Structure 1
Amino acid sequence: MTAKLATAAIVVVSAGSHAVSANADVAPPRPAKRKRPLVAIVADNIGTETTDLMIPHAILTRSGAADVVVVSPLAGSITLMPALSMTSQQTLDAFDAMHPEGADYVIVPAFHGEGDARIIAWIKKQFAGDAFIAGICEGAKVLGKAGLLDGRDATTHWYAIDDLRSAHPTLRWIRDRRYVVDRSVMTTTGVTASIPASLAIVEAIAGAAAARRLAAQLGLAGYSAQHESAGFQLEARHLWRVIANRAAFYLHEEVRILVEPGVDGIALALTADPWSRTYRSQAVLIAQQSEVMSQDGLLLHAQPVQADADKNSKASGLTLTLAGDIPPAAHLERSLGAISQRYGRSTADLVALQLEYAWRDLQGISG
């Protein structure tokens, strides 16, 4: 089983110190290498976590305070998991040629594989060049392979923490924090921690006022690191729900998300990702063309509307649009509510557990 199963001041913990503000810790060890910081989000072409990539990309791009680029070992397609796909913006080699001084920040999503050796080597090189490295969710495993977790405070997705601690005995697990920073290395808990962690980086780059303004635009009251780690654990009821949903294969369906150019990447990720974790449905993107550019510059792959209509003329399923009547972050609650109505509350709870999100079936983002 993998981890797929499954507001106010920022507080982070540093090794050997008391809690300090994000501005003191969420920054490279030396001044940024350029006036406008460069953020590289590294992806594995064969499988990269959807939300871990799309949300940091969108938040940091919308901050207007940094240049953001998605890099990968190979040019071409990046498969996002559990849903969607996109085109890489730059290869690792091209990035290195263009930016020999390296990135200021490197964000590492969870990968759905062992981690490409080229990526591991590239992360090591970036860290040696004084980049701040952030591992989102099980991206912490990749940081561990790069040698960045030994002797550090860290966290990761609730399902992966035991394996991570076993692989790195000198790692100190910090409970009850959405993200932890120790000497230019950030790690986070599960998938939805990408939101507060990204806003913490915005605060480090552009200041607390800018981060608070952006959080409000996203529909968030704040971006606290506060968390209750003990609330997330796999129970018998979750396993039974997985078994039951898988067994009902005749009820499995495709959730088609109809989008237009300029689609909000945060709203999309917080819709496609939850619907693809139900063990009853799989989200796919449909649009007028086979490619659509997101609001923040990601080239996403889609099924053309006409081809989709022909294919699904007799098929069961659900077609969704991303309404603009709620702020982007609120699409997570909307998705969980819709999943609960369609498949039952136990399935929505299973999805929230995988996302490590404290869903209380309330309006607004509260986890």
Structure 2
Amino acid sequence: MMSWRNLAWTALGGMTLLAGIGATWLLLLPAAPASGTAPAISRDETESTLAALKPPKRKRPLIAIVGINDMSETTDYLMPYGILARADIADVLTLSTQPGPVTLYPALKVQPHATIAEFDAAHPDGADYVIVPAMSRDDDATVLHWIRSQAGKGAIVIGVCVGATVVANTGLLDGKRATTHWYSVGDLKKHSTIRYAADRRLVVDQGIATTTGITASMPMALTLIEAIAGRAKAEAVAGVIGLARWDARHRSDAFSFTRPFALTAIANTLAFWKREQLGIALTPDVDEVSLALIADAWSRTYRSRALTFAATAEARTSRSGLRILPDRIAGSWPAEQAVPDSGASPPARALDETLRAIETRYGARTADFVAMQLEYPR
């Protein structure tokens, strides 16, 4: 029988081996992402993208943003809704696969306008555009069937971020060019006939559009506004949200799994005793785009989670008419654990202010770690 001493030495040897493998893996990771300038987008390519996104059916289009009820990505779901709804150039609805609220990831909970069954009953001819966010499951049979059915009725399907892998699993991307969040490019390439398009924040191919990471839903929404209502309208909305440009320009290799990214994820995960719950007051007419970006960013630090609070359990109606449910029933929140107020700033500026606040609270590496997850060029 093996003695306790031998068992201890065996365990120590195993841990030493694992530590060595881990250290080797970290050393093999790049020390920093690539630097450089994103390649320019030709005017012909921009015009082609806009032409491909023209409304396929109605003069005033119908846009459906669909999510599963358990963990659809926060910004992917809320930002297209908020930007497109305030543009007032289309009817925009948020949908869920089942009755009840949609719990977003990594933060917030909303009451969608309708279920997909209710939408189908009200609009048997389908949507003009279907926006697909990242979801906790990219193989949900109900949502895959519904997306395919909408495409069959002539809708343009837009996969935002890792929503591209959801669209890929419908088969609608087979034989087409596409992009997705940098972390999920490998998953997209598992579909052998999909052609990954690098250095593009937005790709459109035969009625299917895809985007890169989470914050790409901002330029995607503005591009859609331009396709529907023209450049002047898109510029007006861009001014309101604080974005100077929104073309498909992107440098893919500036976003990658680096050694600082891995070390920050490990260090912040292991520092579990320092984890915080940070409060955001949920007020009527809250800007759902800024709220999504702020809550998403703080909840991706691996050091904190953003929670909304309100004095009562009733949903608060956002600036563009979406009902958001508070996470906590509370009249106030400790000042030292309150999220710095950036909600009054235009959304793009609110994100920059949030990243600076994260840097102040947790350090530059954590701010860079969050920006990398959001695929946001700083």
Find the partner of 2:330 among 285, 305, 308. Answer: 305
Alignment match, 1:216: 239
In structure 1, what is the equivalent of residue 86 of structure 2?
A: 62
Which residue, out of 55, 58, 62, partners 1:38? Answer: 62
Taking the TM superposition and a 5 Å limit, the aligned residue runs for 1:263-282 are: 263-282=286-305
- The answer to which of 197-206 and 282-291 deviates more is 282-291
SS at match of 1:20: helix
Deviation at 1:239, TM superposition (A): 1.1
Q: Helix, strand or coil for the counterpart of 1:175?
A: coil
Could you state the TM-score of these two structures normalised by the residue count of structure 1? 0.88
Aligned with 1:23 (options 47, 50, 53): 50
| One of 319, 325, 328 as aligned partner of 2:347 | 328
1:229 to 238, 252, 268: 252
Question: Highest Rg: 1 or 2?
Answer: 2
Q: C-alpha displacement at 1:320, in angstroms?
A: 3.6
Counterpart residue number, 2:364: 345
List runs of 5+ in structure 2 lacking aligned partners.
1-39
User: Which amino acid counterpart does residue 317 of structure 1 have in structure 2?
Assistant: Q
Q: For the residues of structure 1 that align with 2:45 and 2:240, how far apart are their CA atoms?
A: 31
Q: Residues 1-367 of structure 1: matches in 2 within 5 Å?
A: 11=41, 20-28=47-55, 30=56, 32=57, 34-166=58-190, 168-290=191-313, 291-302=315-326, 303-306=328-331, 309=333, 317-324=337-344, 326-359=345-378
Cα 1:19–1:70 change in 2 (3 A) is closer
Of Structure 1 and Structure 2, the greater helix share is in 2
The answer to whether the Cα contact below 8 Å between 2:138 and 2:165 also exists between their aligned partners in 1 is no
- 1:330: how far off? 0.8
- TM-score calculated relative to the size of structure 2: 0.85
**One-letter amino acid matched to 1:169:** S
Work out whether residues 45 and 77 of structure 1, in 8 Å CA contact, stay in contact via their aligned partners in 2.
yes
Asked whether the equivalents of residues 259 and 322 of structure 1 are also in contact (C-alpha less than 8 Å), the reply is no
8 Å CA contact 2:202–2:211 kept in 1: the answer is yes
The C-alpha deviation readout for 1:162-221, integer Å capped at 9, x for no partner, is 12112x111111111111000111000000000000111111111111011110111111
Between the aligned partners of 2:139 and 2:298, the Cα distance in structure 1 is 26
Question: Percent identity at matched positions?
Answer: 44
How far the C-alpha of 1:279 sits from its partner, in A, is 0.4
1: CA distance, partners of 2:214 / 2:72: 12
**Secondary structure of the structure 2 residue equivalent to 1:113:** coil
Deviation, 1:140, is 0.5
Q: Distance in 2 between matches of 1:160 and 1:201?
A: 24
CA contact (8 A) 2:80 2:218 kept: yes
Offset at 1:11? 5.0
Task: Assess if the C-alpha contact under 8 Å between 1:258 and 1:285 holds in 2.
Answer: yes
Aligned amino acid, residue 356 of structure 2: G
Query: Per-residue deviation at 1:148?
Result: 1.1
Which amino acid is 1:163 matched to? Answer: D
Q: 1:35 to 1:27 in 2, by over 3 A?
A: closer
Runs of 4+ in 1 over 4 A off after TM superposition: 10-13
Measured against aligned partners, the alpha-carbon deviations of 1:247-296 in whole angstroms (never above 9, x if no partner) come to 11111101101131000011101100000000000000112332211101
For these two proteins, the number of residue pairs brought into alignment is 338
**1:317 Cα deviation after fit:** 2.7
Shift of 1:328: 2.2
> Where does residue 19 of structure 2 map in the other structure?
none
Compute the RMSD of aligned alpha carbons.
2.0
Q: Secondary structure at the match of 1:159?
A: helix
- Is contact 1:258–1:321 with CA below 8 Å preserved after alignment? no
Cα distance in 1 for partners of 2:249, 2:365 equals 25
